[in-house]
A and B are shown apart, each in its own frame.
Chain A
Amino acid sequence: MPRKSQHTHTALTRRRLLQGTLGGIAGLATWQGWPHLQVAMAQKGEPAGQMTWAVHVSIAPTWFDPAETSGIITPFLFLYAMHDALVKPMPDNKMAPCLATKWSESADGLTYDFELRQGVKFHNGDPFTAEDVKFSFERYKGAGSGELKKKVKAVDIVNPYHIRYTLHTPWPDFLTFYATPATGAGWIVPKNYTEKIGNEEFKNKPVGLGPYRFVSYQSGLELILEANMDYWRKVPNVKRLVFKSVPEATTRLAMLKQQEADVTYAMYSMLGEEIRRDKSLKLEPVLIPGNEWGSFVDMYDPKSPWHDKRVRLAANHAIDRQAINEAETLGFSRLSGGIIPRAYDFTLPLEPYAYDPKKAKALLKEAGHPNGFDAGEYSCDAVYAGVVEGFVNDFGAIGIRAKVQPMERAAIQAAQKDKKVKNLTRIGSGAPGNAATRIEAFIYSKGTFSFIKDPEIDQWFEQQSVERDRKKREELLYKIQQKVYDEAYFIPLWELGFLCASGPRVAVSGLGMIPLHVYSAPYEDVQLKS
């Protein structure tokens, strides 16, 4: 009987040894090299990984459609991901050419020509042309649409990559409205697709030109996007973006610590301190164009103490703004003497009123209130009651007795708009624009939220609205702001330091990359660590 070959009984043959060794080396190399491979792939233009944002709002589908952009910054959290604009703020330029490669204004100020970027396609493959630009403008019904439609006489397609806007009369703020987040009119959607699917369905299945394409959306809960490999600017670094709605701030912090989220917003006060303490997390304050101030509702009532400028000045000198800044935003807000962000065009930089309780008491005494007075209620959005309490406490120290009146957001907005608030009210605005747009809303007597009736200011404002000479326009706007300061028409507080945070996996969060932009952007630049 032939002997069985030894090899058939032995588990380890030379072939098997060689196979096993090579396999082990390959496995080890892959295991060790995989992160580097991922980075290499990402560096070569292949997006990788997933990044999660825990956002503080319920995600509404109206924010996926540029046509419904309201005058707040929240829609841009999503627009920067899914869509693109002819011109928009970018890290190196507050009016960066994007879908428009260049533009020009005619000598008479009546026409604006835009040359469009060629070879760009929507997420569904439709080519981007001037038809889409015209369509997007015509369907726009969000913030500022009334003003735009009133002032723009015609939108003409010169050729598929050249579009012309013609105005009725010269309008110095046309680009402020069209080329900044003041409106969403310059953000482009595909004409053919939108007409086919309808405006309402578009919100649930948006298609755009942005660095990320829509994947899925659970109403109010979660939005998932995936990298657009054909994005004209660059291929994004991260493959998948997930936005989760988590209204509760402590939950967002817990998610960050547990790495269930990579970036989160609105981490105020003690939560911000906890992030600062935790070495694995990074507190990333963003200075945003969100000013807060108090308004004297009754100052035109001769019986009201606020009618006297000395009393208004006393209120301003009574506030320890730095203490409130430290308590609420860990000192990251920028104290201000005005209500307009310093980075806006035509803003007069004004230093905050000095904290001087002695001077405040002296002013009150001079105005005939040596023992202070009852100032009534100080109404505010309940979310900001902490800040207003700081004001009220400081008032109390000099004898002005006021009571915080927190209200639900919609209620306070409606009350301020309808002028149904009394005594004092807290107002805040993060609306994009320039000094003129802020003045129009809050200082010009016909402004929606204005409690000021100053004919001289009104006259200056109306003059500047048609003034094409930049220097002269600036002078007029500076005069308005200086008068507001001298007359102490407001109790200005700060430009808000919006406290955001990122987790240990994040290399580039996108926070603070675009000046005055509140949220992470541009999304094609965000990055995870290897």
Chain B
Amino acid sequence: MHRYILTRLFYAFISLVLLSITIFVLIRVTGDPVVLMADPGAKEEDLQALRVELGLDKTYVEQYIVWISKLARGDFGKSFMYRIPVFELYLQRLPASVQLAVAAMAISVILGIPLGIFAAVRVNTWLDSFSNIFANLGLATPSFWLGIMLMLIFAVNLQWLPVQGSGTFKHIIMPAVALGLVFTSANMRLARSAMLEVLGSEYIKLARIKGLTENLVIFKHAFKNAVIPVLTFACINFALILQGSVVVESIFAWPGIGRLLVEGISSRDFPVVQATVILGGVMIIIVNLLVDILYAYIDPRIRYGQ
């Protein structure tokens, strides 16, 4: 088991190094940030002075080494635009993203799993068809369109909910629905497939032969086995939701990490973009690592490489 964990940790480290190089190079390909920071008519010497101040006059390799060595000490640098340490900025925005991710995840699990279970139990009936249509709509509907429609209906026309911002339960409803719908559909489909597979297994047939009620068969025996892959998927998705809510946060002016990333990209704020992506990568890698370890703990065949 220790060897398995160490191996996974090693791969996680390699992934982070590759991620750091990728984001470092990609953000610099977008161009020179001092052009946006300085006066549009600034002379070249003024721009160069700014580059020196920000450490952008060095070669890419030198800049990368400086960045990585600071990262190793927990220093993510200072935002070009906001002039405060990036980690402090990230921590200011993180709670809002966590709230939104939890709410979206709750919606996707509470709606998606039961819908999937019922679709499997009532396979090839109207409920199954309805669930399929719902899933397809959920996967196909762009979140930005859904967000604007929700805003128009519930905030502007019905005036039941506030348009934007955060702080109360009412503020979170629309963004959470807009963000959670696609994951609801994904969870629903996965729950349906997992349930159908479990319902077709031998021990379920035995349970029925033994005379157990259908409810007992489904909720006591089948459900627990079917929900494992769905919950695993949901846990992995949590990290993705946390990092990927860029569009929804922009529409609803939600003060989260996704919006911070957009601001950073628009203003070529290298430290913000680098830190946000790296920290997001760390989160995703940690979640995947924990899931791998958990699986290995549950299933010995995995940790012994069979």
Contacts and interface: CB of A to CB of B under 8 A. Distances in A.
Contacts of B32: 410, 414
A61 B83 contact: yes
A463 B207 CA distance: 100
A204 B84 contact: yes
Interface in A398-419: 408-411, 413-414, 417
Interface SS of chain A: helix, strand, loop or mixed?
mixed
B162 interface: yes
A390 B280 CA distance: 41
B35 A71 contact: no
Contacts of B162: 258, 260
Interface string A136-158: 00000011101000000000000
A200 interface: yes
A11 B148 CA distance: 57
Interface in A10-47: none
Given A254-B163, A409-B36, A414-B35, A246 B41 contact: no
Contacts of A448: 40-43
A255 B251 contact: no
A71 B38 CA distance: 8
A413 B155 contact: no
Interface stretch (A92-100, A215-223, A356-364, A470-478): A215-223
A344 to B, nearest CB: 16
B41 A71 contact: yes
A376 interface: no
Contact of A218 (B39, B255, B266): B255
Give chain B's interface residue range (CB within 8 Å of chain A).
Answer: 35 or more
B156 A408 contact: no
Given A248-B250, A251-B253, A219 B40 contact: no
A269 to B, nearest CB: 16
Given A257-B156, A411-B30, A251 B251 contact: yes
B253 A248 contact: yes
A143 B268 CA distance: 20
A332 to B, nearest CB: 24
A219 to B, nearest CB: 5
B165 interface: yes
Given A70-B40, A255-B164, A260-B162, A221 B83 contact: no
Interface SS of chain B: helix, strand, loop or mixed?
loop
Contact of B164 (A246, A410, A413): A246
A431 B40 contact: yes
Interface residues of A, number: 42
Contacts of A295: none
User: Which of B36, B82, B89, B267 has its CB near the most chain A CB atoms (within 10 A)?
Assistant: B82
Contact of B268 (A246, A250, A410, A429): A410
User: Which of B33, B43, B267 has its CB near the most chain A CB atoms (within 10 A)?
Assistant: B267
A260 B164 contact: yes
Contact of A71 (B40, B155, B156, B255): B40
B39 A142 contact: yes
A104 interface: no
A257 B30 CA distance: 37
Contact of A410 (B30, B148, B251): B30
Contact of B83 (A144, A200, A245, A411): A200
Interface string A51-89: 000000010111000000011100000000000000000
Interface string A197-227: 0001001100000000000001111000000
A64 to B, nearest CB: 10
A49 interface: no
A429 B262 CA distance: 25
A219 B250 CA distance: 15
Contacts of A142: 39
Nearest to B89: A219
B159 A258 contact: yes
B39 A71 contact: yes
Contact of A250 (B30, B148, B262, B267): B148
Contacts of A317: none
A70 B253 contact: no
User: Which of B163, B250, B262, B268 has its CB near the most chain A CB atoms (within 10 A)?
Assistant: B163
B151 interface: yes
Interface string B78-89: 010111100001
A248 B163 CA distance: 12
A247 interface: yes
B63 interface: no
Interface in A232-250: 244-248, 250
Contact of A254 (B84, B156, B267, B268): B156
A221 B42 CA distance: 28
B155 A254 contact: yes
A431 B39 CA distance: 10
B177 interface: no
User: Which of B37, B40, B79, B251 has its CB near the most chain A CB atoms (within 10 A)?
Assistant: B40
Interface in B30-71: 30-33, 35-43, 46
Given A142-B39, A251-B164, A251-B253, A258 B156 contact: yes
B292 interface: no
B83 A247 contact: no
A244 B82 contact: no
A175 interface: no
A258 B163 contact: yes
A62 B43 CA distance: 20
Interface in A255-302: 255, 257-258, 260
Contact of B41 (A408, A414, A431): A431
Contacts of A48: none
5 contacts: A218-B255, A254-B155, A258-B159, A410-B30, A448-B43
Interface of A: 58, 60-62, 70-72, 142-144, 146, 200, 203-204, 218-221, 244-248, 250-251, 254-255, 257-258, 260, 408-411, 413-414, 417, 429, 431, 441, 448-449
Given A61-B82, A245-B253, A251-B163, 5 more contacts: A60-B82, A70-B39, A72-B39, A260-B163, A448-B40
Closest 9 CB pairs of A and B: A143-B39, A71-B39, A254-B163, A70-B39, A410-B36, A219-B82, A414-B35, A246-B253, A58-B263
